[in-house]
Structure 1
Amino acid sequence: MIEDDKKILENSEEIFNWTYPGATLYYKDCDLKSNVLNQFKQGQILRNGYFLDVSWKGGGIVKNTRFIIASSKAAKLYEINPDVEKYGHCCINANSYFKVLNIYKLKDKTQIFLLHIPANGLDYFSKVSSNFDQQFIDKAKKSFDDKIEMNPIPELLEKRWIERTDFPVGMDGYNNFYPLETITPIPKQGELLYSGIRNLTNDNSEINNSKIKIEDKPKGFWNSLFGK
């Protein structure tokens, strides 16, 4: 085995155990223009620079794009906040990384399937695929096949939920992908949520502690996100 391969496989067991056991499917629907949608490619690695609101509920599809996300580290906010229980509201932390496992199209709808991966697993997942990936892909496709004919969940069409979810994963407000080699600083008003999600999901291992540099983020981005 060459040296580069050995390096990629370092901590592979810890990476695997962070990613797959307990992973659940979550949903986020949005309307994307074709020039945005076409930027997503199978095998791509993404970084999402903000807190990602998702639902464990996956009903019928009104919008043209569904992000379905397999994650073992989504915080179940609906269990601790009755105001968001009707949405099945879960949240994936800011600066989370994802691998695009599959892009699946039916009729005029597209499903983008993402696997939530740890910060120190980017090299591993850029080169390695697991048998679990194909199992997840098959499950995600079946979900889309079944749900595309279902009625939508009314609560997930409410203005409050749409305002939190109607944008693509991994892109900033200008529809540019967040760079992988930097992370976005968490503003003071978001620190409690950030640490709370890590604690709720037992996400405290070094395998998900990024060592890459921090990028500056305009205050307006976070102000609009937190409503301040």
Structure 2
Amino acid sequence: MPSGFKPVSEKITKLMNEIENSLFENNEEITNWTYPGATLYYKDCDLKPSVAEKFTKDQLIRNGFFLDVSARGGGIKFNTRFLIASAKAAKLYKVNPDNERFGHCCLNLDSYFKVLDIYKLEGKTQIFLLHIPAKSLNFFESVTSNWDEDFIKKARKSFDDKIHMEPISDLLEPFWLKRTNFPVGMDASERFYPLTSVSTITKNEQPLYNGIKNLAKDNSDINIPTPFFSRQNRKSKERGFWKKLFGK
């Protein structure tokens, strides 16, 4: 074998090691952004079955609008509850007391989520989302932590406990329903916002965007939205390439 020549298998091993190292490079920063201080927030809505079925466990989602949620959890009138675990929600009710009765909180434009669990009970569905930083999608595409399993248990218990409660009347008012009665992560045509692009923040949106980041103490580089291209899709394409090359 010529000097300096490395077999294909060795090159692939080196490449995979580099990918694995990059995957866990920001592990601690990602964990610290996501889990400590995470609180449960509620967003109830009526979804068509064809829309609800589009959500799948472990799915990654980008939400292309400012997401209003409530810190108040009660009974559920509608057929779907989005339960969101987030450590970076802005508590808008603290700066606008008029909205305190709604427990009004907001997650920023281009927030990212992982679907941790889909739980169906007595004809209703709870879709449990974990709020994750923008630059963690490679990590969360490949990793499930012990934190996630604990969160899922708490989320299911929450649904078990609340499904027979009376809904909170404030959260059934037209003002609130107008802000919440639609799915997370979908546009007006009920299509998921693509992970391969990010939203353009308009001049009018910039003050709210900055205000939410400041209220949520979310100013680290790890949550700057960037286009994401799935590592799993790339692996699939790589396997197809090697299959064509070697016929295996």
Q: Under a length normalisation based on structure 1, what TM-score does the superposition of the two structures give?
A: 0.92
Q: Is the 8 A contact 2:91 2:106 kept in 1?
A: yes
**Aligned equivalent of 1:56, options 56, 68, 71:** 71
Q: Report the counterpart of residue 243 of structure 2 in structure 1.
A: none
* Structure of greater Rg: 2
Matches within 5 A, 1:118-157: 118-157=133-172
Deviates more, 1:18-27 or 1:184-193: 184-193
Partner of 1:217: none
Alpha-carbon contact 2:68-2:106 (below 8 Å) kept: yes
Aligned to 1:65: 80
Structure-1 residue corresponding to 2:185:
170
1:204 pairs, out of 219, 224, 229, with: 219
- Per the alignment, residue 49 of structure 2 pairs with 34
Choose which of 100, 106, 111 in structure 2 pairs with 1:91. Answer: 106
Q: Report the Cα offset of residue 58 of structure 1.
A: 0.7
Supply the RMSD in Å over aligned alpha carbons. 1.0
% of aligned pairs identical?
62
CA distance in 1, matches of 2:140, 2:80: 24
- Give the conservation status (yes or no) of the 8 Å contact 2:110–2:225: no
Which deviations, in whole Å up to 9, do the C-alpha atoms of 1:85-113 show, x marking residues without a partner? 11000000000000000000001100000
Q: Cα offset for 1:190?
A: 1.4
Amino acid across the alignment from 1:60: G
Alpha-carbon distance, 1:8 to partner: 0.8
- Among 62, 65, 84, the residue aligned to 1:47: 62
* Contact kept in structure 1, 2:115 and 2:130, CA below 8 Å: yes
CA shift, 1:172, in A, is 0.3
- The whole-number CA distance in structure 2 between the counterparts of 1:190 and 1:177 is 21
Q: In the aligned structure 2, how far is the partner of 1:210 from the partner of 1:69?
A: 19
Distance 1:189 1:59 in 2: 34
Q: Deviations over 1:173-219 (max 9, x none)?
A: 00000000111112222111100010111111111112339xxxxxx
TM-score (norm 2): 0.84
SS of corresponding position for 1:28: strand
| In structure 1, distance between residues paired with 2:144 and 2:17 | 19
4+ runs deviating over 3 angstroms: none
Q: Quote the residue 1:183 is aligned against.
A: 198
Task: Name the aligned partner's letter for residue 125 of structure 2.
Answer: T
CA distance in 1, matches of 2:225, 2:121: 37
Number of aligned residues: 213
The AA in structure 2 aligned to 1:153 is: I
